Structure 1
């Protein structure tokens, strides 16, 4: 069975949540941080769990833009510069269904790595 296709997509900027509305009246809101740390991009996921890169410091990430990709996915443009990876309807539905388990696993991996959701600070580039 394939995932339902959203009939409405709305970004709640202040809450930093993406809302997906469906034809049956269901609506689900996903935190942008959750979407960012579970990005389907090779940069984040690698080529399997053993090669995935743990995303840290993404607590306050937001979206700059959302663009459709055909009739099957969204491309999310995060304000930290990340914009690779397509969020297919199937993948977004999987994120909705597994939100609690995924988040608990992410927090566990952060703890094991001694890392944090909090950003480290302002990045200073050398000239």
Structure 2
């Protein structure tokens, strides 16, 4: 009887560890993707950032050639995470970002709020951006 309890507890412990590892992998992956995405935006690599958009949404959310030209007119001066919320049951994450934007022609700086939305793809074990690139000209 004692041996049976030991075996059952060992199995439960192993399953619990496996669950933690999966969650840990998702958490590590979202951190890696968000870091790579924010680096692309900070360095003005908007074409590279487009590659992080979910493939099924990319054609709809990707900027047009004219919009990409507009991105060349700005310089990013800051990219700060204001708050993050993750829903592991749905496989989604939302991150509120404050971005400093400088117009290269006027050298005027302003701040833009942007909400990133991410979705976990269990098949390829990666996070995809589902909100599109920031619109730095909204309301102007």
TM score, norm. by length of structure 2: 0.31
* Larger Rg computed on CA atoms: 2
Higher fraction of helix: 2
TM score, norm. by length of structure 1: 0.33
